[in-house]
Amino acid sequence: MEEKKFDINSIIGFILIFAILIWMLYQNKTEFEQKQAQTAQTESPIAKEKTPSSSVPENSVQSEQSTDIIQEEEVKENTVTTIENDVLSISVQSKGADLVEVRLKSYEDYKGKPLYLVNGDNSKLGLDFTTNSGLNYSSKRQFFTTRLSQKSGSQIITLTDSIGQGQYVQFEYELPATGYMMKFSVRSQGMSAIVDGNKSTDLTWEHKGIRQAKSISYENRYTRLTYQHEGDKISKLSQTGEDDESSSEVHWLSFRQHFFSAILIPEQSLNNVKFYSNDLVQNEDVDSLFTKKYKAIMPLSLSGGEIGKSFEWYYGPTDNTILKSFDKNLERSIPFGWGIFGWINRALFIPLFGFLSGMFPYGIAIIVMTILVRLVLSPVLYKSYLSQAKMKILRPELNDINAQYKDNAMKRQQETMALYRKAGVNPMSGCVPALIQLPVFYALFMFFPTAFDLRQKSFLWADDLSSYDSIYELPFRIPFYGDHVSLFPILASIAIFFYMKMTTGQQTMAQPTQEGMPDMAKMMKVMIYLSPIFMMIFFNNYASGLSLYYFVSNLITIGIMLIIKNVILDEEKIHAQIQENKKTPKAQNRFQRKMTEIMEQAEKQRNARK
């Protein structure tokens, strides 16, 4: 309980209110005293009298004529009420009017057991406010009267906490006949006389993500608090450690647990919301039960002195198709990448993979999509390889220039650029294709770990394409590697070794040797061996679907390069074309002329200083 500081007038007022309360206690000794005995151990409870269920005001939602009352009981002990539809089963307890179980009926966890997003006390919801007398109300401490009803195919749990005659706090959970989205509301009646409107009325939601995957470190990497605010802005709390933020005009907040999410959507945007996130996975060697702990404190504005807020509450898969169907930008909580990378995934790879997976098994769909991507990028690969071939042909002349002007870097650069211009060769043309491929590379790197369709889908020896494909469990844990051996990362590393050996060898032959520079050939040779090792270690705990993509992609790239080298490109023809270009050198563009002028001026100044 927060510490209260009173001036002298507040103390006098408090004494008077306390005296009135003592008189009321004396006049109402029956059920009122029993309730006081139950809450005597709690912190500053509000003195209240439980009214019978039948005395709940007729203007509450449940009293509408279209609602059929199934069950109604006054709760003096904690009881649990369960409702379910085709995909969800939820249970609400009377103490605190809080969810104690949310089970997704169509899914299982990594052990094959029922999948719970809420189970026990990993999720807590509470309403807190301060009365005019300075007493603190917390719904978490109260026992609510439970009413179960149905309306228009929806099942409704209404929980009412009667504070006094005509005064109550009410929580309501409404589950439709189908789907993952339920309705939730919190309202009050007759509270304007006792609630201090100048002080905050907070709805607090705390949630700990339950582990659902084999690799908790990998799952935790994609577990994150995300929210939309101020129009269509999307913000996220840190993936690691502790983090907190505050924001206004919050349209929704998502407690994402990699492939499953709990998303709260207010009917009207909330202001001054405080968010907290704490990473619970401090040691990967410990078999942790939870990944991250989230918390959101949402101040609720009063209307006419009363609480009245409605929400939609999503418990379900972090699936792009399902989230997009609600038309609330919820799919943007999925980390498909920022900027152009996310756009490529949403506009290209998600629809493409959805189409292919509808025709083929998921592993085959990954292979087919990889083949299509590499074929589309093959002209870019051809352009890069052609540039390397031209540089290889010019290498003897470039070596002569380097030897002739080894003591004059400026002159050496001028002659090199002149040779490139005469031969019609652009040394940067080999870099541009690589840059073009980077957005595709990164987009796919983000796509496969977040593709919900891959979850628990098997292919060959991999029993789950969204997790690692272990072929051998180690009796110990290797730092940075793990306690198992995954095969797809090994195959991908072997493929990338041969790919780098081909491309690095070609680049080394194309690069001219220059004095005073490190031996690039030796550095590249080292990278040929180090890069595959790093990849094998890094991807050992990643989704096997991603490693399968890299393995197939590198195999296809090697095949395309062999075809380009042995079938398409003819170095003799390229050499003849370069010699022909030298006879009629390409005119300089504006930028090249400017660079030439600058270099000539610098050369003149250098000669003048000598």
DSSP collapsed to 3 states, 348-372:
HHHHHHHHHHCCCCHHHHHHHHHHH
Q: How confident is the model at residue 166 (pLDDT cuts 50, 70, 90)?
A: confident
- Please report how the helices 409-423 and 362-404 are oriented relative to each other, as an axis angle in degrees rounded to 10: 120
- 3-state SS class at 300: coil
Q: What is the distance between the alpha carbons of residues 544 and 448, in angstroms, rounded to a whole number?
A: 9
Place of tokens 């470190």: 217
For the segment 467-487, the average pLDDT, to the nearest whole number, is: 86
pLDDT at 491: 93
Q: What is the pLDDT of residues 309-348, one digit of tens each?
A: 999 999 999 999 999 999 999 999 999 888 888 889 988 9
Please state the domain extents for the chain. 8-49+60-335, 342-593
Higher-pLDDT residue of 82, 46: 82
pLDDT at 340: 86
For the segment 213-232, the average pLDDT, to the nearest whole number, is: 89
pLDDT at 90: 94
Q: What is the distance between the alpha carbons of residues 151 and 155, in angstroms, rounded to a whole number?
A: 7
DSSP collapsed to 3 states, 389-439:
HHHHHHHHHHHHHHHHCCCCHHHHHHHHHHHHHHHCCCHHHHHHHHHHHHH
pLDDT at 229: 92
What's the full length of the chain, in residues? 610
Higher-pLDDT residue of 534, 410: 534
Q: How confident is the model at residue 66 (pLDDT cuts 50, 70, 90)?
A: very low
Q: How confident is the model at residue 439 (pLDDT cuts 50, 70, 90)?
A: confident
Q: What is the distance between the alpha carbons of residues 387 and 12, in angstroms, rounded to a whole number?
A: 88
Looking at the predicted structure, is the pLDDT value of residue 135 above 90? no
Instruction: For residue 245, give the H/E element and its range.
Output: strand 242-247
DSSP collapsed to 3 states, 526-558:
HHHHHHHHHHHHHHHHCCHHHHHHHHHHHHHHH
Q: Give CA angle at 497 (508, 479), nearest 5°.
A: 125
Of all residues in the chain, what percent carry a pLDDT higher than 70? 72
| DSSP 8-class letter at 594 | H
473: left (phi over 0), alpha (psi -120 to 50) or beta: beta
For the segment 70-76, the average pLDDT, to the nearest whole number, is: 48
- Residue 589 Cα distances to 7, 121, 346, 545, 593, angstroms: 80, 70, 39, 47, 6
Q: What is the distance between the alpha carbons of residues 587 and 166, in angstroms, rounded to a whole number?
A: 90
Higher-pLDDT residue of 414, 452: 452
Higher-pLDDT residue of 9, 480: 480
pLDDT at 106: 92
Q: What is the pLDDT of residues 109-127, one digit of tens each?
A: 888 899 999 998 899 999 9
Cβ atoms of 133 and 17 within 8 Å: the answer is: yes
pLDDT at 180: 94
Q: What is the pLDDT of residues 379-398, one digit of tens each?
A: 877 777 777 777 777 777 77
**pTM (2 decimals)?**
0.75
For the segment 203-212, the average pLDDT, to the nearest whole number, is: 92
For the segment 35-55, the average pLDDT, to the nearest whole number, is: 36
| DSSP 8-class letter at 273 | E
Higher-pLDDT residue of 56, 502: 502
Looking at the predicted structure, is the pLDDT value of residue 417 above 90? no
Q: In Å, how far from its chain's centre is CA 387? A: 39
Cβ atoms of 603 and 609 within 8 Å: the answer is: no
Kind of pairing, strands 154-164 and 80-84?
Answer: unpaired
Cβ atoms of 255 and 237 within 8 Å: the answer is: no
State whether the Cα torsion 279-285-286-289 is positive or negative. positive
Q: In Å, how far from its chain's centre is CA 252? A: 14
Q: What is the distance between the alpha carbons of residues 276 and 246, in angstroms, rounded to a whole number?
A: 9
Q: What is the pLDDT of residues 5-16, one digit of tens each?
A: 334 544 554 455
Looking at the predicted structure, is the pLDDT value of residue 92 above 60? yes
Q: What is the pLDDT of residues 246-281, one digit of tens each?
A: 999 999 999 999 999 999 999 999 999 999 999 988
**CATH classification of 8-49+60-335 is 3.30.360.10, yes or no?**
no
For the segment 57-74, the average pLDDT, to the nearest whole number, is: 41
Of 145, 195, 197, 153, nearest to 176 by C-alpha is: 153
Looking at the predicted structure, is the pLDDT value of residue 30 above 60? no
For the segment 588-597, the average pLDDT, to the nearest whole number, is: 61
Q: How confident is the model at residue 245 (pLDDT cuts 50, 70, 90)?
A: very high
Looking at the predicted structure, is the pLDDT value of residue 452 above 70? yes
Looking at the predicted structure, is the pLDDT value of residue 205 above 50? yes
pLDDT at 225: 94
For the segment 459-465, the average pLDDT, to the nearest whole number, is: 90
Looking at the predicted structure, is the pLDDT value of residue 571 above 90? no
pLDDT at 246: 92
Higher-pLDDT residue of 427, 134: 134
Higher-pLDDT residue of 588, 245: 245
Looking at the predicted structure, is the pLDDT value of residue 41 above 60? no
pLDDT at 432: 64
Cβ atoms of 464 and 544 within 8 Å: the answer is: yes
Q: What is the pLDDT of residues 528-541, one digit of tens each?
A: 888 888 888 888 88
Of 453, 223, 498, nearest to 358 by C-alpha is: 453
Q: How confident is the model at residue 427 (pLDDT cuts 50, 70, 90)?
A: low
